[in-house]
């Protein structure tokens, strides 16, 4: 089982999760009805932190919930547990083993907060620490770079949002998720395009990755895959933060990657920025987009499936980004199955 | 008035703020006594977002407050205002002009949440939007790269923490702040060291910047100054997130900058990581530290003032980082007073 195999498995993993995770979320819902959370705190590291970023937008935009991304080292370094007794506290970890994430959930539970573990390892310290558990059921993930566990984490977050909307009488929210397995299958057809783009950029050493709104998580995760695997120093930015300074870096030929779908997350200001980066700075632009006009702005473009609900698009758009990082790694003369200096489970404290 | 002048002004700016801002914070305290916040939401972009990161640690560790860094685009892109009615909501902006930050504070106030503006521009939309105002009083900041407004924002956050502790009977918290102007004056003596280090690294194109705990904000801000000014693609990481992947980037000669003080934020695991990066990866390590043993681990080291309370150290340690970015910019053949493509006030929406 290689990293590429695990990328290709994702439609099946998501299809399975959509039918298996509902019961656990209904259990959480019953608990929440007794004490509605006033806000949400999420702890995750690395790839799982990007699922938390996705949750901040999904739960914010669709459920009007304010989401705090925890700083686990407040507890693990300084020994202080902030008061989260009025929050729903979620720990996200593929392995369920990271002591700092486990500690955040344990402390929250001891304060009486409702707690949820989202993990691919149901027999893990994280699963044991939380009151409620979504088992991602993605099967063993052997590659060091997480792929199928990331999309499964995103789906778990989307299902949580849908379950909360269901309670408020929006019965249609859950049905929207059904489009995912087929859209994820279709997007695998982009592989020849991303492979060609990666080969043409062989030797790339640094780049900027842009995305905003729901797709900000995609930009972060895309950049992390590139850094873990290919040796490219890839720096992710939301458009707004990028305008506040790092834009100064972009010189002629500088590679800029962007996730720019047709909806709000690829709105006029992101397209305008891409045009300025190309014409004024001479940047070399690669975009992932379902929008023909946006693709026409770029030096290189990958077509995403059209007509997806915007809040679900990141679950699909990360797939060509994973494939891109995989092929960029090979193009840069490295082995995506054996990234340098990394191990699968990182036990940060 | 150049950027370097503004860096040198910082001890005076901080001294002024320590005496001027207390009244505004006491006003906020009176408001909070009527309805204690259950958590804190902070909105800022760019440099001001790093003051928010500092606040997450300071208010978390010292006040046990859970802090959420707002995603302003939930409101500005998607038109949804998450429910923050039980939070204290803070907007931080040098100019007070960024519409997305103003909108977060306006929405919070209309929900009945207590609101605070921290800005260098008391006649600004942000100041008008919030119920309470800390005027940083740093004087006009002409340089495009923020320096004195950043340290002033950190001091405002530290004063807020101290005022909240005072209410809980910890009268000594406020007195600790008095060491700052003198420590900031002393740290300016590092300039010849950072200038020499920058010259020796002339032409640097990319680097990693490490810091954790209270000093994570310093790593983020140091990296941003390098990106804004010098053309170096500087990627900041907390030690924990760095171990979860980006570590793979570090090859022989790769420059790693670190803020590693003697306390918890420079604890054994950060020192251990620096040793491994140097011996196993062949990284070239530059540290800022008040600890002799930590400095001895590095290829290049800058001595920070000793015996500062750890929670206040970031207000001092950013100063040599600012000077380093300034001199690295000159060493890279650029003009720190005229960064490419940036303007002072960025009106992101």
Q: Could you report the predicted ipTM of this complex, rounded to two decimals? A: 0.93
Nearest to A66 among B68, B78, B238 (CB): B68
Cβ distance A247 to B73 less than 8 Å, yes or no, reads no
Q: What are phi and psi of B292, to 5 degrees?
A: -60, -45
Is residue B279 less than 8 Å (CB to CB) from chain A? no
User: pTM value?
Assistant: 0.94
Question: Which pLDDT value is given to residue B275?
Answer: 92
Let me know if the fold of B3-171 is the same as that of B184-331: yes
Tokens for B285, please give them: 């390590």
The CATH class for the domain spanning B3-171 reads alpha beta
Specify the CATH architecture of the domain A184-331: 3-Layer(aba) Sandwich (3.40)
pLDDT in tens, chain B (349 residues): 689 999 999 999 999 999 999 999 999 999 887 556 899 999 999 999 999 999 999 999 999 999 999 999 999 999 999 999 999 999 999 999 999 999 999 999 999 999 999 999 999 999 999 999 999 999 999 888 999 999 999 999 999 999 998 877 766 788 999 999 999 999 999 999 999 999 999 999 989 999 999 999 999 999 999 998 998 989 898 887 787 667 778 889 999 999 998 877 667 788 889 999 999 999 999 999 999 999 999 999 999 999 899 999 999 999 999 999 999 999 999 999 876 655 666 666 5
Contacts of A241 in chain B (CB under 8 A): 45-46, 49
Does the distance separating the beta carbons of A83 and B38 come in below 8 Å? yes
Domain locations in chain A as residue ranges: 3-171, 184-331
Of all residues in chain A, the one with the smallest CA distance to B145 is A245
Chain A residues with CB-CB distance to B313 below 8 A: none
Query: CB contacts < 8 Å between A and B, how many?
Result: 204
């Amino acid at each position: 089982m290689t990293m590429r195999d695990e990328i290709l498995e994702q439609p099946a993993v998501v299809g399975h999760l959509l039918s298996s995770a509902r019961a656990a979320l209904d259990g959480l819902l019953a608990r929440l009805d007794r004490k509605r959370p006033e806000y949400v705190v999420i702890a995750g590291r690395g790839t799982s932190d990007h699922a938390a970023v996705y949750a901040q937008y999904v739960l914010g935009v669709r459920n009007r919930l304010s989401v705090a991304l925890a700083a686990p080292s407040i507890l693990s370094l300084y020994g202080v547990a902030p008061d989260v007794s009025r929050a729903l506290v979620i720990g996200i970890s593929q392995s369920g083993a990271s002591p700092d994430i486990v500690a955040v959930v344990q402390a929250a539970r001891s304060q009486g907060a409702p707690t949820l573990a989202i993990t691919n390892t149901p027999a893990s310290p994280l699963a044991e620490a939380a009151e409620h558990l979504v088992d991602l059921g993605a099967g063993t993930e052997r590659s060091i770079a997480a792929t199928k566990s990331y999309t499964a984490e995103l789906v778990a977050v989307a299902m949580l949002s849908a379950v909360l909307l269901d309670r408020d009488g929006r019965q249609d929210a859950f049905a929207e998720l059904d489009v995912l397995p087929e859209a994820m299958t279709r997007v695998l057809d982009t592989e020849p395009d991303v492979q060609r783009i990666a080969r043409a950029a062989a030797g790339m050493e640094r780049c900027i990755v842009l995305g905003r709104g729901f797709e900000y998580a995609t930009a972060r995760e895309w950049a992390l895959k590139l850094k873990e695997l290919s040796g490219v120093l890839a720096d992710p930015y939301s458009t707004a933060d990028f305008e506040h300074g790092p834009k100064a870096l972009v010189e002629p030929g500088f590679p800029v990657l962007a996730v720019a779908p047709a909806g709000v997350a690829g709105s006029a200001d992101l397209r305008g920025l891409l045009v300025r980066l190309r014409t004024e700075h001479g940047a070399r632009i690669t975009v992932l987009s379902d929008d023909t006009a946006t693709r026409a702005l770029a030096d290189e473009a990958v077509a995403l499936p059209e007509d997806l609900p915007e809040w679900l698009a990141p679950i699909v758009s990360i797939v060509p980004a994973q494939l891109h990082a995989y092929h960029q790694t090979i193009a840069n003369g490295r082995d995506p199955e054996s990234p340098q200096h990394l191990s699968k489970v990182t036990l940060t404290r």
